[in-house]
Amino acid sequence: MSKKGYKMSDKHKQKLSLAHKGKKFSDEHKKKISESKKGTIQTQEHKTKIAIAKKGYKHTEETKRKISDKRKLQIMKPITNETRNKMSRIMKGRTPWNKGFVGDKSPGWKGGVTINTRNSNEYQIWRLSVYSKDHYMCQKCNQIGKNLHAHHIYNFAQYPGLKFIVENGITICNRCHRLFHHIYGRKNNSLEQILEFLTK
């Protein structure tokens, strides 16, 4: 019998939730889940539901410490050769994932003027990719899904080739973003500044 279109009642969901409470998945099971989700893209509606569900949720001090430790490792992780190749291709005027062009090869080129980068599809894709990478959470204060900004680690005005590299972005909330630029200014921003800011 097909279960397509079947919807569980709230009572049934609650029973399942209680039955699985405290249960830990094996590494093999986690790997299977990860592989089954590869290539799937969440809709904006789904992302909004997740953000609403997590609204007001607070991590324990132990969880915050674990997240912080993992985040530091991710940021300090050396750049792979694959990423370096992507950066190289970007500098030649083409992004490898969306075939976009820059300068006079860009569809937004208007005789010497390019449309606002922040309004472009490439920028919106980059911004959402950064949020997704950081689980829609401010990497400074751990706020989830509210007034978030995608901050360029190396600012794109001075490093145009890194403009749409996801690894060059980090999610921080509006308040923390303003605080960062108040301390470090808006020029010559770097990875060292971000690392220092996150550990303060």
Q: Can you give the three-state secondary structure of 15-69, one letter per residue?
A: HHHHHHCCCCCCHHHHHHHHHHHCCCCCCHHHHHHHHHHHCCCCCCHHHHHHHHH
In total, how many domains does the chain have? 1
> Length of the chain, please?
200
Report the pLDDT value the prediction gives residue 6, as an integer from 0 to 100. 66
Residue 69 included in any domain: no
Residue 74 included in any domain: no
Task: Domain of residue 166: give its range.
Answer: 83-200
Residue 25 included in any domain: no
Out of 9-13, 70-74, 81-85, 184-188, pick the least confident: 70-74
Closest CA to 192 of 157, 153, 159, 147: 153
Question: How crowded is the C-beta side of 34, counted as CA atoms within 13 Å?
Answer: 7
Report the pLDDT value the prediction gives residue 109, as an integer from 0 to 100. 52
Residue 21 included in any domain: no
Mean pLDDT of 155-165: 82
| pLDDT band at 96; cut points 50, 70, 90 | very low
C-beta of residue 95 within 8 angstroms of C-beta of residue 164: yes
Please, is 24 exposed, middle or buried when counting C-beta atoms within 10 Å of its C-beta (0-12, 13-18, 19+)?
Answer: exposed
Report the pLDDT value the prediction gives residue 178, as an integer from 0 to 100. 93
Residue 72 included in any domain: no
Residue 116 included in any domain: yes
Q: Is the pLDDT of residue 61 over 60?
A: yes
pTM of the model: 0.45
Average per-residue pLDDT in the chain? Answer: 75
Residue 11 included in any domain: no
Residue 185 included in any domain: yes
| pLDDT band at 1; cut points 50, 70, 90 | very low
Within the chain, where are the H helices?
10-20, 27-37, 44-54, 61-76, 81-91, 121-133, 174-184, 191-199
pLDDT above 90 coverage of the chain, percent: 16
